[in-house]
Structure 1
Amino acid sequence: MATQETVSSVQIPVIDVSALVAGQATTAIAHHIRHACCETGFFYVVGHGIDEALQHRLEQLSRQFFDQSLEKKLQIRMALGGRAWRGYFPVGGELTSGQPDLKEGLYFGTELDVAHPSVQANVPMHGANLFPDLPQFRETVLEYLAVMTQLGHTLMAGIALSLGLEASYFRDRYTTDPLILFRIFNYPPESSPEAPSWGVGEHTDYGLLTILKQDALGGLQVKAKSGWIDTPPIHNAFVCNIGDMLDRLTGGFYRSTPHRVKNVSGRNRLSFPFFFDPNFDAALHPINLKGVLVEEAKEQRWDNASVHEFRGTYGDYVLSKVAKVFPELRQEVL
């Protein structure tokens, strides 16, 4: 449902990436991606090849988890995940711009055992996941992580082509060992459609690319040039959007787009954002894009910050954000 300030005249483009998935570097797909990234920073992808049965199983198992008592869900609370930054948080346990979100969720990442060098080195955001005691939950999440990681590489190849770069540009330099962050969010129904609270307030994503599976209820809104627009679910399509690091790498040519969520459906809404981010130790510098003239941003970013001014690695950047999202985990993760 659109709010009064939402405009509906702008559409998020739908891009069939089946040729890209098949390993074909098509000019047409690159053109469509470039147009979408310049205009809205968001696009749907179809023809992605992710098994619908796997998606359905993931959704059903997630509903089973969230239907449990709070006491049961807290058995895998994030405090138990330590530096790996994994597990469950209750409604209000995550902040956006300092305000509690009206959602609960599960955090997952690449599954690493204690023998992995990054775990041995005590690198933040690396380690084992915390899984609920539900049949097939662990297997389903790990399968989903594997196929979505491959899709992330594929879509980044398309983005590289859209910038006039070699398809392997990002994989060779920034995503050889990508930081994978996967979330399962449940947005409970609001007590009133007019309530000022947001499922997630206005924000941009930290990394390169977000690939979102959402259920059939809607609620995602994107801040286009003309105003806020709804991004309704499309059957078997993922919503993709640019993150801050792609903004940084392209020198602002592809800008990370603010978005938000308000669940006015009257039912529990599920969403499954998959964040495909740079290597934790990667230092990201602007790409020399031939023939590209970047217009100066006409308005201040939502957070009054600049993704172009920070120095350090992607790990430095994302960890600087962790304390704002989960203040109580600051000492565990930083």
Structure 2
Amino acid sequence: MKKLQVPLIDISALVSGNEQQQIVAFQINQACQEYGFFYITGHGVDEDLQLRLEQLSREFFTQNLATKMEIQMALAGKAWRGYFPVGGELTSGKPDLKEGIYFGTELAENHPLVKASTPMHGANLFPSNIPLFRETVLEYMDAMTQLGHHLMAGISLSLGLEASYFADRYTANPLTLFRIFNYPPDLAASDNEPRWGVGEHTDYGILTILKQDNSGGLQVKSSSGWIDAPPIPGSFVCNIGDMLELMTGGLYKSTPHRVKNISAKNRLSFPFFFDPNFDIEVKPIKLGEVLNMDKEERWDKANVHDFRGTYGHYVLSKVFKVFPELRRIVL
């Protein structure tokens, strides 16, 4: 294993709210400028909950395809929830070598956003044949949402802002999205033409909190090239998304990353996305001039700093490329 390069930060001071928060904020500032990625420990998320989530997820993915397709995404309509099979998601137009289940905030049919047919809002789809799956996923999402609020307070402080800056403007009622991905071993892999579990990409929102199993395979694009972000027991991997790059004028970079299952077994990962409210307009923070708007440096040759509008508009424009069939359902 290569020497660890992505920073490791103990965030217990953010969780407890003690006087050491500024030290953590300084470490976050450095990590976000240099890598856009950092590991966290001291997060307080229950280990038994994480273990239960992993066990139930493995149980789900070992089922045959027909059983898994009983909660396929098409059944959720505009809510954009449920299962997709291997190759069902695209990155840069290429099918990913992974399968997964999509979740979001659980909303009842009579919720105003659901009644208004707001895309990406609604009820989740859960397997009916796996006891405690629903309860475990929702409990984990609640824990991640709480952790997201703590981390956003730290990111606010890292920018010299009030701890509540993002909560006051964007994340009091965040758009929270959760994925459980299974990357099967690539039995047809070759050195000449590597096949990626998920190809080079950036995340769309503000903050991603990733739980990964012990298989490895996550890579982060740094100034010196691609570096490994191997699993560290008891930690999560955090990275910032396009909207935080936009808000900070390029001070904090939305860093490209990719995954290749390098093991001979199934690889599980659990990314949780803590993003701005769907209907909130995202605006730059007055921190100074934009530091870097070079389109050629981004994997998609796009310029996130050109965007103006609500987060919902931005995320849908990205999602339609990943799941082209969703565009037909939503529009």
Identify the residue that residue 6 of structure 2 maps to in structure 1: 12
What letter matches 2:16 in structure 1? A
Q: What is the CA-CA distance between 1:296 and the residue it aligns to? A: 5.4
Identify the residue that residue 164 of structure 2 maps to in structure 1: 168
User: Aligned partners of 1:20 and 1:79: how far apart in 2?
Assistant: 40
What letter matches 1:96 in structure 2? T
| Matched position secondary structure for 2:237 | strand
User: Aligned partners of 2:324 and 2:68: how far apart in 1?
Assistant: 20
Identify the residue that residue 126 of structure 1 maps to in structure 2: 121
| Matched position secondary structure for 1:122 | coil
Runs of 5+ unmatched residues, structure 1: 2-7
Runs of 5+ unmatched residues, structure 2: none
1:3-54 deviation line (CA, Å, top 9, x unaligned): xxxxx56700000000100123521101000000000000000000000000
1:35 equivalent to 2:30? Answer yes
1:146-189 deviation line (CA, Å, top 9, x unaligned): 11001001101000000000000000000111001100000000
1:186-242 deviation line (CA, Å, top 9, x unaligned): 000001442521000000000000000000000000001110000000001000001
Identify the residue that residue 311 of structure 1 maps to in structure 2: 308
Q: What is the CA-CA distance between 1:123 and the residue it aligns to? A: 0.7
Identify the residue that residue 227 of structure 2 maps to in structure 1: 229
Identify the residue that residue 74 of structure 1 maps to in structure 2: 69
| Matched position secondary structure for 2:304 | coil
User: Aligned partners of 1:153 and 1:253: how far apart in 2?
Assistant: 21
What letter matches 1:184 in structure 2? I
CA RMSD of aligned residues (A): 1.5
User: Aligned partners of 1:190 and 1:307: how far apart in 2?
Assistant: 33
Matches within 5 A, 1:102-251: 102-133=97-128, 134-194=130-190, 195-251=193-249
Q: What is the CA-CA distance between 1:300 and the residue it aligns to? A: 2.4
1:95-115 deviation line (CA, Å, top 9, x unaligned): 000000000000000000011
1:78-99 deviation line (CA, Å, top 9, x unaligned): 0001010000000000000000
| Matched position secondary structure for 1:81 | helix
Contact 1:90 1:104 in 2 (8 A): yes
Identify the residue that residue 323 of structure 2 maps to in structure 1: 326
Identity score, percent: 70
Q: What is the CA-CA distance between 1:328 and the residue it aligns to? A: 1.3
User: Aligned partners of 2:85 and 2:239: how far apart in 1?
Assistant: 26
TM-score, normalization by structure 1? 0.95
| Matched position secondary structure for 1:246 | helix
TM-score, normalization by structure 2? 0.96
Identify the residue that residue 270 of structure 2 maps to in structure 1: 272
Match of 1:84 among 60, 73, 79: 79
What letter matches 2:174 in structure 1? P
User: Aligned partners of 1:176 and 1:27: how far apart in 2?
Assistant: 22
1:48 equivalent to 2:34? Answer no
